[in-house]
Structure 1
């Protein structure tokens, strides 16, 4: 699907990587399995990446393990060490032919597929790193080219994902405004979940 006013483009398939391994300690349950408007957050995240054009979609699970239709699942046995180990596990599981990956988090149900499409379009135009921005602030999802996977994995320690790499290489980052197609609000607590359930879906 092409957005209004933008030309179609052809690009190799770009995998999507959904990080969904955490226990949801502040929420009281693993976020991946939380019901949000009739579907699990993990299924909503997979749908967002697939609707955005990602093939295949790889999901990293850990605290909770369950079948995820439409995705390749990878279990991170070190999930308790934080997001960094899940990112490394996910990058290792990507197809060898993948030139880029779009990385998303399971606890942001209002990030939209059009944000994913904009990142893939940025890659088709030559970006090796692209980040969705909202109000000028870098959030998710993030697109990264294979040439950077090794350094991203090396810098992803503890409960940090791609952020240390992005901070180390600001010259590579192409910001992709997505204010009009989604909202990066995340779910950390029961109050967050209740608040987002009461809001309408944003466009995109």
Structure 2
């Protein structure tokens, strides 16, 4: 309306009413902002499930550990199901070694699958591949989950996610068992550049040491330390090793 006045026009009663109403709405909006009533963007976490490794400790004819049978399904599918049933925004599975078999085990699931062509170089390349893929969704943190940890539950993942949200998305969150550092971990997006620089067989543990960020530790019991790299470990954890 101010432009009309400058142009020499006289506002009528309707113009004045609309201007006053608009000004009140504008002031209310500013007051809400000052009063902290504006909706706060939720802190969002995506899961990256690492399933690209070569499973060398299973031996040349030992079968793939992620295809071992747990609860009537391949371990990698079971791990993916646990991730999907958590409060995470999305789930991305990184595949590499025997990826056709892994993809088949994950068929019809609501998740993203990305291939790491450099998987033989070590864990770092898979972490980078997954971090980039998950970051495309603009999440605040990436929960890195190893696909060969059968005792981790959706409830465990939710506890980690809740801790990350309580930390305002600015801290690393790490699962522990009686004070012993384990997995999974949540890495905030502030570590993006550091993750992209990783090389070789280096995982999140080395990154955490060098980050300088505060670390929130979440006790999840023995699940934080149990993975299955051998026939014996699979059997001990209640699984049935897959045929080669």
TM-score if structure 2 supplies the norm length?
A: 0.71
Aligned to 1:29: 63
- Partners of 1:76 and 1:104 lie apart in 2 by 16
- Partners of 1:33 and 1:144 lie apart in 2 by 27
- Partners of 1:138 and 1:18 lie apart in 2 by 19
- Partners of 1:80 and 1:169 lie apart in 2 by 26
Cα pair 2:184 2:224 within 8 Å, conserved: no
1:103-122 to structure 2, matched below 5 A, reads 103-122=144-163
Q: Which of residues 129, 150, 153 in structure 1 aligns to 2:172? A: 129
Pair 1:150–1:30, CA change in 2 (3 A): farther
Say how many residue pairs are matched.
Answer: 187
Deviation, structure 1 residue 61: 0.4
Gaps of 5+ in 2: 1-40, 240-244
Gaps of 5+ in 1: 1-9, 199-204
Aligned to 2:94: 60
TM-score if structure 1 supplies the norm length?
A: 0.84
- Partners of 1:117 and 1:82 lie apart in 2 by 28
Deviation, structure 1 residue 131: 0.2
More helix by share: 2
1:68-79 to structure 2, matched below 5 A, reads 68=106, 69-79=109-119
Q: Which of residues 50, 58, 65 in structure 2 aligns to 1:19? A: 50
Deviation, structure 1 residue 138: 1.1
Over aligned residues, Cα RMSD in angstroms?
Answer: 1.9
